[in-house]
Structure 1
Amino acid sequence: MPSTTDRRPLQVLVAAPRGFCAGVDRAITIVERALEIYGAPVYVRHEIVHNKYVVDALKDKGAIFVETVDDVPNGVPVVFSAHGVPKAVPHKAAERGLDYIDATCPLVSKVHRQAERQVEAGRHIIFIGHRGHPEVIGTFGQVPEGTMTLVETEADAEALTVDDPGNLAFLTQTTLSVDDTKAIITVLERRFPDIVGPRGEDICYATSNRQAAVKSIAASCDLMLVIGAPNSSNSLRLVEVSEREGTNAKLVQRGSDVELAWFEGVGTLGLTAGASAPELLVREVVNKLSDWFDVHEEIIESAKERMIFKLPRSLEAV
């Protein structure tokens, strides 16, 4: 480790907003409150949010993570993750007599309700999202099979064929790239002028804000570090946004992932965190950098976030 006098300066521009969004904060609190009320173990279907540090911390408190309610024993509660689940999942839990708590982000639930309304109106839904992502699976599971078609890219939108072009609607996953999604929607609206979109943007405020915050600092940085999990959609989008702005970006899960070799020729570093990454990991990365450099940290705030989501009534009352 270099001595204090030997460390060269490193300017670190820390993006704000970054890290936990209201939906993630709510989901984690739901698991913690369930553990307080029911005692351990509390089962959680799928990772409550896509972050290993968060999941491991909840495991230490008594949460057990499974991929299906079939793996939940009788007599213990189960929490559904923030990404949302198909309707069949709570139905199966109810059939088994399991107590379940839905931690689906309210903004994802909003998309679920929009999907139901569009199908009720007789429209076929074009859903913009990433195949296999739990949010996409959950949204498709809100409506009858065959009433929704997935589109991932502009090329998909160009190649799309539909039976009734006059009765279409589009919805989107909440954690997509704002720019990519806008480009796909432009193609859909050009090809299908009568297509109906949501009243407001489906991409959540936190995703949009974090991408805008990266854009605001990327041009001033030689390298961007994004703290997040490799299966976190919103974190991966932050890497893409930085690289699209011309700044190389690396995804790290925590301080121990950062490598000194990356910083050759780097005088200014950008630092942000995906919506599932706690601020503790941001501090961990900064501390790691301080082992090597004389760090000069500056917060660059592009928006303020005051969103708070209420807990389920069953947990609020306790």
Structure 2
Amino acid sequence: MPETTDRLPLRLLVAAPRGFCAGVDRAITIVERALEIYGRPVYVRHEIVHNKYVVDTLKEKGAVFVETVDDVPDGVPVVFSAHGVPKAVPHKAAERGLDYIDATCPLVSKVHRQAERQVDAGRHIIFIGHRGHPEVIGTFGQVPEGCMTLVETEADAEALQPAEPDNLAFLTQTTLSVDDTKAITDILQRRFPSIVGPRGEDICYATSNRQQAVKAIASSCDLVLVIGATNSSNSVRLVEVAEREGTPAKLVQRADDIDFTWLDGVGTLGLTAGASAPELLVRELVDKLSERFDVQEEVIESAKERMVFKLPRSLEAA
């Protein structure tokens, strides 16, 4: 006799691209290689990426996470997180004679260099980002105090009263909502027609691709689940993108965070993961769903990613 099941059918649309980006891959590899070269412990200033599973896994291997270089003992190496750090941080590490490795995402470093160039050109920078985010703090720390003004919302952009309105540039955090950022830059360009923007978009390819992938599935779903941390900017933006498409969305860190009452009446579920969430967590969540549902999984691919970033020369040589 054919096997019967009490599990309800669930169509699962899995977004692609999703999960780890090249910058996150590189940052994690840097910590792992540093542990191989130096041995335990290797200190890491701030979470290397915003994902508890990744951080806990590296802790088990011998990484110690701290918030300031002052917390790093003498004689041990320190890695700077993928989000970037103010210039004062490596300077302090060098003054103390610490070996340090910068795991800043190359696309964040590109924004840092753009900030320096705009200030060197005498322009005041309007920086679009989220107050308190490590990437914003790191970028502000690349230039002298007072050279940048933070704008978070369209209302901020409308209210802006710069001292030299004809001598401005704008840059953005790399993990923002593409749509929100365009709305803000449109206001800045309307109000300050001579404002200078970046040569290419500052929002990174991975952030843009993951948002586009959510758009590709959201309208076909009754609910979208996003795997990511609450302090992960790019993950929170994926929730917002789904909701803007008219589809409810929930952010979860692990499969155990699912409240199955969310799935009452859900016939088609969307699934994606932020750029700092490993694919292992996606598979874990699919397995959890399969315990209760007859899952028919479909991968909806909206872009292919082949980006790879080189490791720092010191680690490549080692």
1:265 aligns with: 265
Runs (5+) with no aligned partner, structure 2: none
- Structure 2 residue 227 is the aligned partner of structure 1 residue 216: no
* CA distance in 2 between partners of 1:285 and 1:178 (Å): 27
Note the C-alpha offset of 1:4: 6.0
Q: TM-score, normalised by structure 1?
A: 0.99
- Equivalent position amino acid for 2:145 in 1: E
* CA distance in 2 between partners of 1:313 and 1:146 (Å): 34
CA deviation vs aligned residue, 1:9-55 (integer Å, no higher than 9, x gap)? 00000000000000000000000000000000000000000000000
Superposed CA RMSD in Å reads 0.7
Distance 1:4 1:102, change over 3 A: farther
Note the C-alpha offset of 1:145: 0.1
- Structure 2 residue 93 is the aligned partner of structure 1 residue 89: no
1:137 aligns with: 137
Runs (5+) with no aligned partner, structure 1: none
CA deviation vs aligned residue, 1:286-305 (integer Å, no higher than 9, x gap)? 00000100000000000000
1:104 aligns with: 104
- Equivalent position amino acid for 1:25 in 2: D
CA deviation vs aligned residue, 1:235-277 (integer Å, no higher than 9, x gap)? 0000000000000000000110011111111000000000000
* CA distance in 2 between partners of 1:259 and 1:92 (Å): 46
How many residues in Structure 1 have an aligned counterpart in Structure 2?
316
1:64 aligns with: 64
For 1:150-229, what aligned pairs fall within 5 Å after superposition?
150-229=150-229
Residues 217 and 300 of structure 1 are in contact (CA less than 8 Å); yes or no, is this contact kept in structure 2? yes
1:295 aligns with: 295
* CA distance in 1 between partners of 2:219 and 2:302 (Å): 14
Note the C-alpha offset of 1:205: 0.1
> Would you identify which runs of 4 or more consecutive aligned residues in structure 1 move more than 6 Å?
none
1:120 aligns with: 120
Identity %: 86
- Equivalent position amino acid for 2:201 in 1: E
- Structure 2 residue 299 is the aligned partner of structure 1 residue 306: no
- Equivalent position amino acid for 2:96 in 1: R
Distance 1:4 1:198, change over 3 A: farther
- Equivalent position amino acid for 2:121 in 1: A
2:242 aligns with: 242
1:79 aligns with: 79
1:39 aligns with: 39
* CA distance in 1 between partners of 2:39 and 2:13 (Å): 42
* CA distance in 1 between partners of 2:259 and 2:196 (Å): 47
Residues 4 and 294 of structure 1 are in contact (CA less than 8 Å); yes or no, is this contact kept in structure 2? no
Note the C-alpha offset of 1:166: 1.0
SS in 2 for 1:98: coil
